Each structure stands twice: as C-alpha cells, then as structure tokens.
Amino acid sequence: MKKIMYIFTGILLLVIVSNKPLLAKTDLHGLVRSGQYSKEVLLGIPQPDTMKQSLDGVYNVGTYPLYTPELAPGEGLDMIQGYCNLCHSVTYITMQPPLSADTWEAEVYKMINTYGALIPEDETKRIIAYLQAYYTPETRKQ
C-alpha cells in the first residue's frame, strides 16, 4: 500500500512539473480537453468584514467603497479631477458610451446651467476639449 502511494505521488508530481493536460485525447471517449488552467491569475473581490454593531440606536453600514477607474491621461485631466469630481466620481464619464463632441459639450453645459456647477469659462472649455479628445466614438480607447 505504501509503495502504491509513492507511485501515485510520483505521477502527481510529474504531472504538476510537466504542466501538461492530465489525459490524452484518446483516453476517454468524447472528452476533448480537461485539466487545463489559465496561466493568468484572476484576482477576486475581497469580502468586506462584518460591520461592528452596538445598542446605540444608530444603524450604521460604514463607508461606501470607491471603484473609480483611471481616466485617459492628457491635457485637461486635472480640470476634470478638480471640477467634475466634486459632485460625482469620474466613473460618470467612463460609464457612458462614446458620445459625440456636441453631446459632451451639451453635457458639460448641463452641469453648469442646470445642476449649478461653478466652473469658470476657460476651465469649462478645457474640460470640453479633454472629453472630446478622449471620449468620442472616434477617440475613445479605454
């Protein structure tokens, strides 16, 4: 029995070291592939810890996490981070489909005229230019 275990362990180690599929195609009727693993390691989402609770009348869920993606680097990005980011995360930009240059201009003026964003005229133009440079159907890469 001990001998058999040694043999099994040996086979296992050989398989792991050689990194080849466990079974040849002919071993099992119909089986095309098995024992293949991705070379890349995908990172999972860490589980948050349970919120500490106490008998104080306060119902607390803690802070809300941010998952804000990076924006395309370029001229005007600092304006976006400074002004747009004040009332909402820039995920509001990356979440959109690529929008036309006209639509981006209208969106920025909607933020100013409708929602009351306080953005000086010069900065407004730079924000529009940035969005048109990186987030239209012709220019969007990421």
Partner 1 sequence: MTEKKLDPVSRRILLKMFGVGAAWLGLNKVSSVLAQVSGQATQQMPGFTGPEVNPSWGAVGPFVIFPQKLPLIQITDRPVQLETPRHYYLTPFTPNAAFYVRWHLEGIPNAVNLSEWRLFVEGHVGKRLTLSFTDLMKQFKPVSIAAVNQCTGNSRSRFQPRVPGAQWGNGAMGNALFTGVRLKDVLDAAGIKAGSLCVQFEGLEKGRGLTESVSHRYLKSLNLDDPVINESIVAYEMNGEPLPMLNGFPVRLVVPGKFSTYWIKALTWIRVLTEPDTNFWMIKTYCVPDTPHGNTTVKDVKDGRVNMVPVGTMPIRSFIITPDGSCKIPVEMPVTVRGIAFSGSGRVVNVEFSADDGKTWSKTRLGDDYGKYSFRTWETTWIPKHTGKYALAVRATDEKGTTQPDGEFWNPKGYLWNKIERQELLVDAAQ
Contacts with partner 1, residue ranges (CB under 8 A): 5, 8-9, 11-12, 22, 28, 31, 34, 37-38, 40, 42, 44-48, 51, 56-69, 86-89, 91-92, 94-99, 103, 107, 114-117, 137, 140, 142
What's the N-to-C CA distance of the chain in angstroms? 58
Closest separation in Å from C-beta 16 to partner 1: 9
| CA triple 29-5-31, angle to 5 deg | 10
Of the pair 51, 121, the CB lying nearest partner 1 is at 51
Closest separation in Å from C-beta 61 to partner 1: 4
Closest separation in Å from C-beta 139 to partner 1: 12
Q: What are phi and psi of 45, to 5 degrees?
A: -90, 120
Of the pair 22, 78, the CB lying nearest partner 1 is at 22
Concatenated DSSP letters of 93-138: HHTSPP--HHHHHHHHHHHHHTT-----HHHHHHHHHHHHHHSSTT
Closest separation in Å from C-beta 125 to partner 1: 20
Of the pair 47, 122, the CB lying nearest partner 1 is at 47
Is residue 132 exposed (0-12), middle (13-18) or buried (19+ Cβ within 10 Å)?
A: buried
